């Protein structure tokens, strides 16, 4: 008997996209849903996004924390963005503070207590839900990563299937002994396709297949809401949502 697992990541406060993805997921009737972090920063509705994600959690979704969730919850920018050696920009800080101030204490507490990783056993197959890579919320599986580094990061877990995001570019890679299922972004893709991306993993005994799904949402509604907010960098954030390409 086969099992189906949905993987989504990097909602980034885009409740418009999340609602469309949730509707698409319901049609699939999966056995499990994994959400790989980066839930609120940059988008137009952190409150609505967390409310919807918590509903999904009550229905059984497994949710982990991403690096930008640390920035929003606790303003620990060095932990959230360790590659920014000169510190975060005013635009990042303004967006994190705005999202923090928008959320109530209960939502912030929920964001803080999310785990960095969760594991799921389906039969004899272990799946790992992590934001970037095993053991890290910030070191992802970029396509241009050195092959040796990729293999080293893969070896940090016994899980056969690593379910992640962080890069905002959907990517499935099967190494035989392990498989990366990078769901891309369910709210803010960077691959030039302005739709929400997520992944569907099917396990049938020892056979694992994974595919990327794309779900349309009203990009103009989301982009206009970001633009109307008027924070530093919002014009670029809105253009990214509208075009599906990173604009900065």
**CATH number, domain containing residue 10:** 3.60.21.10
Average pLDDT over residues 27-45: 97
As a dihedral over the C-alpha atoms of residue 49, residue 51, residue 53, residue 58, rounded to 10 degrees, the angle is: -170
- Note whether 16 and 217 are within 8 A (CB): yes
pLDDT value at position 147?
95
Average pLDDT over residues 39-61: 98
As a dihedral over the C-alpha atoms of residue 173, residue 10, residue 109, residue 26, rounded to 10 degrees, the angle is: -90
Q: Residue 126: count other Cβ atoms within 10 Å of its Cβ.
A: 15
pLDDT value at position 206?
86
**Three-state SS for 119?**
strand
Beta bridge partners of 209: 202
pLDDT value at position 118?
98
Report whether pLDDT(231) > 90.
Answer: yes
**pLDDT tens digit string along 105-147?**
999 999 999 999 999 999 999 999 999 999 999 999 999 999 9
Q: Is residue 78 part of a domain?
A: yes
Q: Is residue 53 part of a domain?
A: yes
Q: Is residue 96 part of a domain?
A: yes
Q: In the predicted model, what is the mean pLDDT of the chain?
A: 97
pLDDT band with cut points at 50, 70 and 90 for residue 165 = very high
Q: Which domain holds residue 85?
A: 3-243
Q: Is residue 127 part of a domain?
A: yes
- Note whether 213 and 198 are within 8 A (CB): yes
- How far from 137 is each of 84, 233, 247, CA to CA, in Å? 15, 24, 23
Q: Is residue 131 part of a domain?
A: yes
pLDDT value at position 1?
80
Map 126-180 to HEC letters.
EEEEECCECCECCCCCCCCCCHHHHHHHHCCCCCCEEEECCCCCCEEEECCCCEE
- How far from 164 is each of 22, 28, 109, 151, CA to CA, in Å? 18, 20, 23, 15
Q: How many domains does the chain have?
A: 1
Q: Is residue 248 part of a domain?
A: no
d(CA 96, CA 151): 33
> Terminus-to-terminus CA distance in the chain, angstroms?
47
Q: Where are the beta strands (DSSP E) in the chain?
A: 3-8, 32-35, 62-63, 117-122, 125-130, 161-164, 171-174, 179-182, 196-204, 207-215
d(CA 147, CA 149): 5
**pLDDT tens digit string along 167-226?**
999 999 999 999 999 999 999 999 999 999 999 999 998 899 999 999 999 999 999 999
Report whether pLDDT(98) > 90.
Answer: yes
Strand order from edge to edge, sheet including 117-122: 117-122, 125-130, 161-164, 179-182, 171-174
């Amino acid at each position: 008997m086969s099992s189906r697992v949905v993987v989504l990541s990097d909602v980034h406060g885009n409740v418009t996209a999340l609602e469309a993805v949730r509707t698409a997921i319901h049609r699939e009737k999966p056995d499990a849903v994994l959400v790989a972090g980066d839930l609120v920063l940059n988008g137009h509705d952190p409150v609505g996004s967390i409310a919807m994600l918590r509903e999904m959690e009550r229905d059984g979704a497994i949710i982990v924390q991403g690096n930008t969730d640390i920035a929003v919850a606790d303003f620990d920018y060095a932990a959230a963005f360790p590659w920014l050696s000169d510190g975060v920009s005013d635009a990042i800080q303004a967006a994190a503070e705005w999202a923090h101030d928008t959320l109530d204490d209960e939502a912030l507490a929920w964001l803080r207590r999310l785990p960095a990783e969760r594991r799921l056993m389906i039969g004899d197959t272990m799946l790992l839900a992590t934001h970037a890579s095993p053991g890290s919320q910030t070191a992802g599986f970029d396509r241009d990563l050195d092959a040796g580094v990729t293999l080293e990061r893969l070896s940090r877990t016994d899980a056969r299937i690593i379910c992640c995001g962080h890069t905002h570019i959907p990517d499935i890679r099967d190494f035989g002994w392990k498989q990366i299922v990078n769901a891309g972004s369910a709210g803010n893709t960077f691959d030039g396709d302005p739709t929400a991306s997520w992944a569907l993993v099917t396990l049938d005994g020892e056979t694992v297949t994974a595919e990327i799904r794309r779900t349309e949402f009203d990009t103009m509604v989301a982009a206009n809401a970001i633009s109307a907010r008027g924070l530093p960098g919002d014009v670029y954030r809105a253009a990214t949502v509208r075009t599906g390409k990173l604009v900065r």
